[in-house]
A and B are shown apart, each in its own frame.
Chain A
Amino acid sequence: MSARKIRVMVAKPGLDGHDRGARILARFFRDAGFEVIYTGCHQTPEQVASAAIQEDVDLVGLSCLSGAHRILFPRVVELLREKNASDITVIGGGIIPEQDFQMLYDAGIKAIFTPGAPLESIVEWIRNNIKTKE
């Protein structure tokens, strides 16, 4: 039968209201054939994790431009783990200094994309790394 459709969620946790990048990404994912749940700005990590589970997404893309990624991104991964949903992949993007990458990888963020990353490279990463669920 038909293959699984890839479902992703694009969310901006925290107080940062700059969602231009997140919106462009959401549209690009749509054009790549993904179903994109777009939940916008000002969300708590708890809201992100609950929504991701209710929507049964394969991947959550977090965007943060305010510098709070060190706290917010790991918290989302942690909450998903607590809710028995660690199979949902979490990636991040935004203004993220290189010295923070390792810390985020260690916390369970699977990939990080910073300004200048070609949109195609993000889609390709998703296609290569998401095993749609059985």
Chain B
Amino acid sequence: METTAKIRAGDVRSASRLIRDLEDKLPGARPRLKQLFQHTGKSFIIGITGAPGAGKSTLTDALIAEFRKQSKTVGVLAVDPTSPFSGGAILGDRIRMLKHTEDEGVFIRSLATRGALGGLSQAAGDAIHVMEAMGKDIILVETVGIGQQELDIIHHAHSVVVVLVPGMGDEIQTMKAGLMEIADVFAINKADRPGAKQLQSELTALLSASSLTPDTWKPPIVGIGNRYEPTLFAQQTAVLAQKIMDHHAHLILCGQLSFRMERQALMEISDALKACILEPVLRKLSESGELQNMTRRVKNRETDPYTEAETIAHRFLTLGEKI
């Protein structure tokens, strides 16, 4: 197939168009991705996450530079939020990565969250696969500024960098579940600011208190200071890149990479099921007005959401196995 060949040859137009077609759910798009799928799965995928304003885009930019020095090709997927009111979005992560725009070894794509039903996770997975098929060695996935939830898309990544900054709260925050637990590498950004040492020691305490067996990975903590001191900043981001590659080596050595790729595959199956079962059912119910009636009945407590959902399941899932 022509698109497959073009994308595998690294053609940017075909790749960016396919990503767009998948996002817009054009009927012809999914079959083209199916063709590509066998050529995916060879890239090392790194997730970059953290609170809004923590410096994810700036560190992504620095990591691109570092990996390019090692002659690795890089794909970047930068996710920003869609407005729940207008459906529009400002995608502004690119602005931190302008110097890589003309480098043919770098492909940067912005993605809006768009909305419901785990659709983002599938759209992110789709874009990642297109970049894999382009033959990118490394794919950096920069999430939206994240809180203590919305962690789903990070499961596309093999290694996860959590970016923290000083002054975001006391040690209780570091004890909470979620974001802190998914980190393979911690970056303390803006480490020249007050509170950085305290954050570092709290994190160290947290990590030493967790029950790690000797051969498990202990997330390293990398402090990164002011980016306007370019020499030091470059040294520190080089350390960050090295720690990420160390983690990659560890994943391979301990057989963990295969486990994480299975986790990724499982998530993609579940995303795809949502897209081919849940979405059409909801659309149908909405078009017929049933969904609106049902919503009203649940709101008025004439029925409950569980019974309604079971009724719908029985109606639409008539063939095959019982669930």
Contact = CB atoms under 8 A, between A and B. Distances in A.
Interface of A: 1-5, 7, 26-27, 29-40, 43-44, 46-47, 50-51, 53-56, 83-85, 133
Given A54-B12, A84-B13, A85-B13, A33 B102 contact: no
A52 B90 CA distance: 15
Given A29-B88, A33-B86, A55-B109, A7 B20 contact: yes
B112 interface: yes
Given A53-B12, A54-B12, A47 B86 contact: no
A30 B89 contact: yes
Contacts of A40: 95, 98
5 contacts: A31-B88, A33-B86, A39-B94, A47-B101, A54-B109
Contacts, number: 93
Interface string B13-41: 10011011001111100000000000000
Majority secondary structure of chain B interface residues (helix, strand, loop or mixed): mixed
Contacts of A26: 90
A44 B112 CA distance: 25
Nearest to A26: B90
A53 B106 CA distance: 13
A4 to B, nearest CB: 5
Which 5 pairs of residues, A with B, have the shortest CB-CB distance?
A30-B88, A56-B16, A47-B101, A56-B20, A33-B87
B195 interface: no
Contacts of A4: 24
Given A2-B25, A36-B88, 20 more contacts: A1-B24, A2-B24, A3-B24, A30-B90, A31-B86, A31-B88, A33-B86, A35-B89, A35-B91, A35-B112, A37-B91, A39-B95, A51-B94, A53-B12, A54-B16, A54-B109, A55-B91, A56-B17, A56-B19, A133-B17
Contact of B13 (A27, A38, A53): A53
A72 B95 CA distance: 19
Nearest to B25: A1
Contacts of B264: none
Contacts of B91: 35-38, 55
